[in-house]
Structure formats: C-alpha cells, structure tokens
Structure 1
Amino acid sequence: MTSVENQMGPRVVVALDYPEAKQALDFVGRIDPTQCRLKVGKELFTLAGPQLVETLVAKGFDVFLDLKFHDIPNTVANACRAASKLGVWMMNIHALGGRRMMEAAREAVETSGSRRPHLIAVTILTSHSEEELGEIGLSGSPAENVVRLANLAQSAGVDGVVCSAQESSVLRAELGNDFMLVTPGIRPASAAVNDQKRIMTPEDAIAAGSSYLVIGRPITAAEDPAGVLLTINSAIGAI
C-alpha cells in the first residue's frame, strides 16, 4: 500500500454517470486529465464496454472502474485480473463478499502482469439508512457497519475502502495513513443533494481524512465543468 501523504495526482474523481458513451466522451473532451480522474460505473460500462475504458486510458485519464465485484472468490479474482488488463487506476469489490473473496481479488491484481491498480472495497452504500440496513439483516448504524467492514478489508490486504466522508475521520484514526479512503456523496455547498444521504463538502471531506473525492452531477451538469474543477481543486489544495 502507498501512504496517503505520498499519493500524487488529482484527488477529484468525476463520476461519468451517462447513459451512453458519446455523452461521456463529449464531456471528457471538455476537461483535462491533470485536473481529475474518472469513474466508470455499471450503467456506462454495460452500455459501452471495455473499449470505452481503454479509450479513456488512452486519453491520459486515470480510470476508477466502479463495478463492485461480489461473487465467489475465483470469479471475483478472474474479473479483477481482466479489469487490470484494461489499464485501470482503481477498481472495487464488495467487502460483504468476505475475507477469502477479498484476498483472492488482491492476489489477482498483484499478479495481473499489468500496472498494478489500486483495489478498494465497498463498505456500506452512501444511499443506505440505518432502517434499510436493518431490513437486510445488518444491525447497528451505518458508521458501525463501515468500521467493521473496513477493518476486515484492511486485514485482507485491500488498499482502502469506499466510505462516506462522514466516516473518514473515524476510519483514518483507526486504520492509519496507509489506507485509502474514497468518498462519494461529495457536494459543494451550493450543489443539490440529489439521492445521496450522507454527504459532505469537498473541503470538509479532505479535512476529515478522505483520500479521493467522487463527484458527479455538480461537475458533469455544470455549464463550465473545467471551471468547477478548478474551483474545487483550489479549495481542497489549501487543506
């Protein structure tokens, strides 16, 4: 793992939550890979496939492949190995898949023969409330579940976790600086909340210990996305 203090490059990861590749590529043509990284999720990957990821990588962008693999250990390992060959910067798996699955995924990316991508684990989705967690059999608050799953992921050798920025300070204190905290649910103070429940501003998230900030609509829906990126990067650069 790499110490958070030594991680270089943009800390903003723009979520390409578009329904088709053309829209995503039109947006990408308006921004600079020195200012952000990109996240490709399930909808866009299902529609556009590996070719889009390879195109983005060829344009100089670091790509976070957000497919949240969760299956038996061998299947997840094979999926992670295939994703590594696309040249992605980061990919994720579900911590709820358990220790053996996470260890198999880690071993797969370490032996993929490609540039070794970061492997992070999803703990609890930021859209989940405590009531919803109870409905699926997870007792305790979202924060308590996040801490338990993050500890499990770290012990399995995973590089970090996806978590709410509201849990970042606790996880940073508990798990140390050699653990990546990737936080969705980030909204500049002037932006709409949309469907995220546990949100935080970029400045507050970095101050709380977040390593990377996943931001979607406040940037992708902006009239001047490059300008919004510049404003966010300037704000968090002072933290």
Structure 2
Amino acid sequence: MNQTIYLSLDFPTWNEAKHFIDQHDLYGVPVKVGMELFYREGPDVIEKLKQDNHAIFLDLKLHDIPTTVRNAMKNLARLEVDMVNVHALGGSEMIQAAKEGLLSGSQYDTKLIAVTILTSMDHTIMNNELLIQGNVQDNAVRLSEFANRSGADGVVCSVHEAKRIKAVCGSSYLTVTPGIRLQDAETNDQKRVATPAFARKNGSDILVVGRTITNAQDPKKAYNKVVEEWNCGAES
C-alpha cells in the first residue's frame, strides 16, 4: 500500500466517509481526518479507521497558548496516529509545547507537522489582510526554519516552497503538500496548486489530495492516477 498519498476525508459524518471508502474500494489507503469529520465523530472515527488499516493524518491545526496545546497534544497522542499538526504562526514556544505533549502522551512515533502558509492564501491576502510583509515563499521557508528548531518533524506547505524548505531544513525534514490536482481538475479555492509529478520533482514527501479524487467520476481511478503521476515524477 502506498504510504505517501493521503486522501482527505472531507465528509460531515463517518457514515458518509465509510460509504465513500466502501463504494470505491479505497480500503487501507492513507487518509487525512480534518476538523469537519473529527468534530462531529470524535476519537471514535480514528479507531474505526485504524481497524481498517488506514494510516492517519489528524489535521486539526492547533493554535493556542502553549499550555493548552501541550495538554491537547498529550490527549491526541493517545490516539496513535501517524501525523498531527499545529499552526507555525503560534510561535516557537507553542511548537515546543506541542512536541512535549506528544512525547509525554504516548511512545508511538507520531510526527509533529507545522502548517506554514495555507495554500488558500496568496500574496494579496497575506500582505493586505494579515499584514505579513514579504512574499509567500519566503515566509513559508522562515516559518519552516524556526518550526524545525522548535521540534517539528516537518511542515505543511505548498509544492512551490518544498524544495527551498528542504535546502534549509535538511532532506529528512518532511514536506506535506496539499493543493494537489490532476492535470484536468479544477483548482476550487486553492491558490497554490500543482500536479503530483511536479510535487515529486519539487521536493514533496507526502501529498494530501481531496476534491480531485472525491469529486471525480471514478474516485478509485483518480486515486490510482495520482499515484501513477507521483511515480512518474520520481522517474523523470
């Protein structure tokens, strides 16, 4: 089973997510569980997915004071998922606290991933609304650098920053990249998107793929196409 391509289970209920997996024979593929599904179903959804041998990226993007994040991560660690994340904009002390919570909550090797700049954002939003100066790529690299020093195992970034982040943080530092689209798919609300082959060539380690699969006429075929394009990126 491919452990690199994570399918976003962006469904409001477990019954809908389970139906999608069953209907399209996606048993055992790595999955991302986000706020929508986790806040409705709670930890039970994680246990059900683990019973079916799915690797899990729990995408809750924690962003709070260090003590709260430490205690939350201590609880999440007991779920023994493969990856969890925080917002890098929470600062180095918060990231350090998240790591401490993970390590104290379980011996399982859950990777701590820091979110840099959301792929739904572009320079205009970042500069004019958030009042963060500079360009998206430079800020994503800067956030990755201090997240690395603070104990994160990698970052969520766009494909377009992955290679630079690897150069600064090292080849083993994980780059988890959403905004993945097949060549003929719509971009929807994502601003910084890329194909799987481009992602592989540009330094991505793990892809997070949602609507290009879930909105496809044949989701299993679309998932396999993502894997095929990813492999082509490695070969070329």
Q: Map 1:16-31 onto structure 2 (within 5 A).
A: 16-29=9-22, 30-31=25-26
1:100 aligns with 2:93: yes
Deviations 1:175-234 (A, max 9, x none): 211100000101010111111000000010011010100100111122332222222212
Q: Distance in 2 between matches of 1:223 and 1:10?
A: 24
Q: Distance in 2 between matches of 1:115 and 1:99?
A: 23
The offset of 1:42, in angstroms, is 0.8
Q: Tell me, which stretches of 5 or more residues in structure 2 are unaligned?
A: none
Q: Distance in 1 between matches of 2:46 and 2:88?
A: 24
Instruction: Find the counterpart in structure 1 of residue 190 from structure 2.
Output: 196
TM-score of the superposition, structure 1-length normalised?
0.92
Q: In 2, are the aligned partners of 1:164 and 1:183 still within 8 Å (CA)?
A: yes
1:123 aligns with 2:152: no
Instruction: Find the counterpart in structure 1 of residue 203 from structure 2.
Output: 209
The offset of 1:114, in angstroms, is 4.0
Q: In 2, are the aligned partners of 1:54 and 1:87 still within 8 Å (CA)?
A: no
Instruction: Find the counterpart in structure 2 of residue 110 from structure 1.
Output: 103
Q: Map 1:98-177 onto structure 2 (within 5 A).
A: 98-134=91-127, 135-177=129-171
Q: Distance in 2 between matches of 1:62 and 1:79?
A: 21
1:59 aligns with 2:52: yes
Instruction: Find the counterpart in structure 2 of residue 224 from structure 1.
Output: 218
Q: In 2, are the aligned partners of 1:64 and 1:89 still within 8 Å (CA)?
A: yes
Q: In 2, are the aligned partners of 1:57 and 1:87 still within 8 Å (CA)?
A: no
Q: Tell me, which stretches of 5 or more residues in structure 1 are unaligned?
A: 1-7
Instruction: Find the counterpart in structure 2 of residue 237 from structure 1.
Output: 231
Q: Which residue identity does 1:52 align to in structure 2? A: V
Give the secondary-structure state (helix, strand or coil) at the position aligned to 1:154: helix
Give the secondary-structure state (helix, strand or coil) at the position aligned to 2:105: coil
Give the secondary-structure state (helix, strand or coil) at the position aligned to 2:201: helix
Q: Distance in 2 between matches of 1:172 and 1:113?
A: 28
Give the secondary-structure state (helix, strand or coil) at the position aligned to 1:111: helix
Counterpart of 1:84 (choices 77, 82, 104) is 77
Higher RCO structure, 1 or 2 (CA under 8 Å, sep 6+): 1
The offset of 1:9, in angstroms, is 4.6
TM-score of the superposition, structure 2-length normalised?
0.93
Q: Distance in 2 between matches of 1:169 and 1:185?
A: 16
Q: Distance in 1 between matches of 2:62 and 2:121?
A: 19
Counterpart of 2:39 (choices 38, 41, 46) is 46
Counterpart of 2:27 (choices 25, 32, 35) is 32
Q: In 1, are the aligned partners of 2:3 and 2:55 still within 8 Å (CA)?
A: no
Q: Which residue identity does 2:150 align to in structure 1? A: A
The offset of 1:71, in angstroms, is 0.6
Q: Which residue identity does 2:66 align to in structure 1? A: P
Q: Distance in 2 between matches of 1:180 and 1:235?
A: 20
Q: Distance in 2 between matches of 1:47 and 1:185?
A: 24
